[in-house]
Amino acid sequence: MQGMAGLMQIPPLLYLDCEAAEVAGGAAFLRGAPCTAVDVTGGLVLISRPDPFQPRRAELARAQAVQEYLGVSRDNPLVLSR
């Protein structure tokens, strides 16, 4: 939908079940990300771009900050399983 660069880009809404949250550093670490983190049944949702259809500069910058916080890059793609 947004032209994700494979697994090198964080989607606007990222659901992580309990296991994926642990692989990504733990729920406490994820709650410290520079975006909204919402506890949901069975996991956590990170909201880096509340409106993915409006690519506002601030939202794009926040999504980039979340990627950097999680250490996601071309050399370190988003992998949430063991």
Mean pLDDT for back-to-back runs of 10 residues, the chain (82 residues): 54 89 92 94 89 75 86 79 66
Residue 3 lies in a domain: no
Closest CA to 30 of 65, 74, 73, 66: 66
Residue 38 lies in a domain: yes
Residue range of the domain that includes 26? 13-70
Residue 7 lies in a domain: no
Are the C-beta atoms of residues 52 and 14 closer than 8 Å to each other? no
Name the pTM for this structure.
0.75
The C-alpha atoms of residue 61 and residue 20 are separated, in whole angstroms, by 24
Residue 20 lies in a domain: yes
Are the C-beta atoms of residues 72 and 9 closer than 8 Å to each other? yes
Residue 28 lies in a domain: yes
Residue 66 lies in a domain: yes
| Number of domains making up the chain | 1
Residue 8 lies in a domain: no
Would you state the structure tokens that stand for residue 47, as one six-digit string?
Answer: 């909201």
